Chains A and B, each alone.
Chain A
C-alpha cells in the first residue's frame, strides 16, 4: 500500500512522462519510495554526484554484473569517490523483476549490493521520465544536478561475465572525470541489456 502511495507521489515529479533527459542539462528531479518505504528525492543529494542504476534481478545482463561482483565493486568504488548510488526498479507488478520492498531488501542482502537506496518505481514514471530502456541502464548526475552520463555500464554489450575483464567501465570513468573537474569524455553510449519491463 505504501508503495502505491509512493507511486502516486511520483505523479508530482517535475519530469514529464516519457521525456528523455538531455546530457549536459539539469536532470529531472523525482520522488520515489525506497525498499524501507522511505521517500527519497533526487534533489536531497544536491552537492554530491548521483549514480542511477536500472535494475531487474531476473535479467541475464544484470546477473552478468551482479553474479560476477562487478556491479557491487562499481558501487563500492563510486561510494568511495563520494557518490550516491540509487538503484531503481521500474518493473511493473506481474512482470519479470518486479519487487516489493521486502523482496528488494532480500535481493540487496543476498547480492551483497551496496546502493545508497533501492527505489521502487512500479508505475514506471521515473523510468520513462529518464527514458530508461534496458537493465542495466546507467546515469551519472554531477553535484550541480547536471546529467553528465547516460548509457551502458561498460563497452562490452554481452551477457558473458568473461567480457567484464578489460572492459571500460563508463560510470567509474565518468565519475573519475567529474571528481577531477574535467568534462566527461564519453557522455553517452547505447545502453545494453533486457528491455525494462514497464507496465503496458
Chain B
C-alpha cells in the first residue's frame, strides 16, 4: 500500500525504481586482498573496491548533512583480526543547500587484517564480511547490503604485480597524516583552523577544502576558505551552531581532488583571515598591521643595514641646520616620499610575484645576487664619496647634498636597503600584509616607509628639534670621513652575502665592477680638484663596464642543499639492503616538503655540522626518502614500521635490525648512535 503510494509520488526519472526494492545493487563491491597468500604473523590490507551505478553516490565516514557511514560485520577464522575501516578522500556534492561527502567515481575502502603467527603455510583462511551502506541519487536513497567473501592462504606474502598497481592507485587517494597537530578556534560564529604546513611546500592552486570527521565544528554547506599563511594553512568557514564546542577537531584537508592530509587540531587561538569584503574586524586588523608597520619602520632607523644610509641624511640635515623653514620641510617630504614610494613599489612587486604563484618572501630582491652586486658597487661609491675621494656635483643623484632630488634619492636607497633588516622585526606585520586585500597590504607597506621616514619628517617640521642639532662647522668634514667607515663595512657585508649567493666567480665580478667604478671616481675626483670642465666623463664608461660585469653574476648552484644531508642518497629498499649487506651503518630518514616536523628535525639535528662529522667518522650511509608526492612503495615501507607517515627515522647498526628513532631528533642523539657503535 505504502509502496504504491510512494511510487506514485516519484518523479518520472526515478519511477522505474521501486522504493526499497532495488532491482539490483547500485554499488558493486568486491573484496580484494593485497596479498592472497599473506605470511603468518603479518598484516594484510583488504580493499572493498566499489563501483557505483551512474548518478549514484556512496558516503564517506562523515556523510555531511545526510547519509550514514558504512558498517562491516566480519566473519573471520579464529585469531584473524580486522582493523578499522579506512576511507579515501571523498568529494563534495551539494544538493539543494545540503552538503554530502561522497564518492561518485570508483573508490576503495581499506581494512587491515592481522594474520596470527604460527599458522602453517597452506592454511586456508576464509574471510567473509557483511557490508551495510547507503547509496543515494540526488532524489532518493537506498540502504543496501552486500555479502562478500574471499579466501586467504597462509604463504609468503607475495603480491601480484597487477594487484600491487591497483593498490598503489587506491593508496594515493588515502589521506596522509600531517604529523603535527594544528589549532582551531570557534569565535563569533566562525570556525578557524591553522594546520602546520611548511612555507616551502607548494600548494596546488585554489580550492582547498577541509572534510571534517568531527561533527559540531563546522557548517558543512558553508563555503570554506583555505589560505596559505607562512608555514601554516588556515581554514576558515562558518561554525556549526552546536551547543557544545568539540574538544578536538579531526578531518581530511584536501588541496587537490582525490588527495588529502589527515589533520587534527586542538583548541587554541587562530588569527582571523582578512575577509574579502572589509568588515569591522578587518578594519581592526589593518589598523593593527599598519601600526606595527610604522613602529617597525621607526625601529629600522637604528638597524645596521640602514644606519649608514641615514648617516648621509644626518649629514645633510646638520649642514642645512640654518636653512629656511620651507626648504627643510620640502626636503623632509621628499625624503619621506622616496622611502614610501620604494616600500610601496617593493610591496607591489612582491604581491604581483606572489599572485603569480611563487612563494617569494619579503626582501626577495636581495635574493638575487645581481642586486647585491649592484648595491655593493653603489655603496662603495658612496663610501668613497664620504671619504672625500670625489664630490657629487649639483644635479646630484644621491649623497649628502641637499636639495629635494637628493633627499628623495636618499630616502629611496634607505628603504631599499632596509628591507632585509625588516625581516625578523616586521615578520608578523608583513605576514599579515601578504594575506590582506591588495589595497590594505599596500597601506601596510606604505606604513613601513612612513615609520622609516618619521624621524626626519619630525626634524623637518619641528624647528625646535632642528635647532637642537649641532651647528655646522669644520667638524662636519671629519664627521663625514668617519661616517665612511660604516659605509665601507656595509660594502664588506655585501661582499659576504654575494660570496654566499654567487660563489667565487660572482664575488670577483662584483668586486671587479666596484674597483672599475672606484678608479673612475678617483680619476674624476682628481679632475674636480683641478677644476676641470666635465670632470665627470670618466665615470660614464666605467659605470657601463661595471653594469656589464654585473650582468653575468648568477646564483651558485648549491648541491648540498638539494641533496639535503651531504652524502645522502635517495632511498630505495634495494639500496638499503645492499648497504646493510656491506655491513655499513645506515641512517634512513623519510621526509616531505609539507611536513613541518621533518623540516625542523633536518635543520636542527640532521643537517648540523656535528652530525655530519660524526656520520663521516663512522662511515654512515645516509638514505633520504622524499615522500612529498606520496610514493606508494615508500608508503608501504613506512607503514611496515608502524608509522602512518613522515617523519620516520631509522638507524641500522651493522648486522642488526633497524632501530626506530623518536620523531623529535637532537644532534646529540644522532652522534651518540655512531659512538655506540665505535664503543
A133 to B99, CA, bound (A): 9
The number of chain A residues touching the other chain, given as a range, is 35 or more
Contact: B66 with A194, CB < 8 Å?
yes
Out of A96, A133, A188, A197, which one reaches B244, CB within 8 Å?
A: A188
Say whether B271 faces chain A, with CB atoms less than 8 Å apart: no
Interface-forming stretch among B3-11, B29-37, B162-170?
B3-11
Most chain A CB inside 10 Å of its own CB: which residue of B10, B68, B242: B68
Say whether A58 faces chain B, with CB atoms less than 8 Å apart: yes
List which B127-143 residues lie within 8 A (CB) of chain A. Answer: 132, 134, 136, 139-143
Contact: B139 with A160, CB < 8 Å?
no
A159 to B95, CA, bound (A): 21
Count residues on chain B whose CB falls below 8 Å from chain A CBs: 37
Q: How far is the CB of B650 from chain A (nearest CB, A)?
A: 41
List which A133-173 residues lie within 8 A (CB) of chain B. Answer: 133-134, 157-160
A157-B68 contact given A96-B10, A133-B98, A198-B98, CB 8 Å threshold: yes
Say whether B248 faces chain A, with CB atoms less than 8 Å apart: no
A80 to B65, CA, bound (A): 32
Say whether B216 faces chain A, with CB atoms less than 8 Å apart: yes
Say whether A37 faces chain B, with CB atoms less than 8 Å apart: no
- A59: B residues at CB distance < 8 A: 140-141
Out of A58, A192, A199, which one reaches B10, CB within 8 Å?
A: A58
Say whether B97 faces chain A, with CB atoms less than 8 Å apart: yes
Out of B9, B14, B242, which one reaches A188, CB within 8 Å?
A: B242
A96-B66 contact given A23-B243, A197-B139, A200-B96, CB 8 Å threshold: no
Contact: B5 with A60, CB < 8 Å?
no
Q: How far is the CB of B66 from chain A (nearest CB, A)?
A: 4
Contact: A188 with B243, CB < 8 Å?
yes
What is the total of A-B residue contacts with beta carbons within 8 Å?
112
- B71: A residues at CB distance < 8 A: 158
Q: How far is the CB of A88 from chain B (nearest CB, A)?
A: 16
A136 to B96, CA, bound (A): 17
Most chain B CB inside 10 Å of its own CB: which residue of A24, A128, A192: A192
A196 to B227, CA, bound (A): 32
Contact: A195 with B6, CB < 8 Å?
no
Contact: A95 with B11, CB < 8 Å?
yes
Contact: B5 with A103, CB < 8 Å?
yes
Contact: B68 with A158, CB < 8 Å?
yes
Say whether A44 faces chain B, with CB atoms less than 8 Å apart: no
List which B20-58 residues lie within 8 A (CB) of chain A. Answer: 20
A23 to B242, CA, bound (A): 8
Contact: A57 with B96, CB < 8 Å?
no
Contact: A195 with B134, CB < 8 Å?
no
Contact: B97 with A159, CB < 8 Å?
no
- B134: A residues at CB distance < 8 A: 159
- A194: B residues at CB distance < 8 A: 66, 136, 140-141
- B597: A residues at CB distance < 8 A: none
Contact: B97 with A198, CB < 8 Å?
yes
A177 to B143, CA, bound (A): 33
Say whether A98 faces chain B, with CB atoms less than 8 Å apart: yes
Q: How far is the CB of A188 from chain B (nearest CB, A)?
A: 5
Contact: A57 with B243, CB < 8 Å?
no
A24 to B241, CA, bound (A): 11
Q: Mark A173-200, 1 if CB is under 8 A from B, else 0.
A: 0000000000000011010111111111
Most chain B CB inside 10 Å of its own CB: which residue of A20, A21, A197, A199: A197
In the A-B complex, the 10 residue pairs with the closest CB atoms: A159-B143, A195-B66, A198-B96, A194-B141, A133-B65, A58-B6, A23-B243, A195-B98, A20-B241, A190-B215
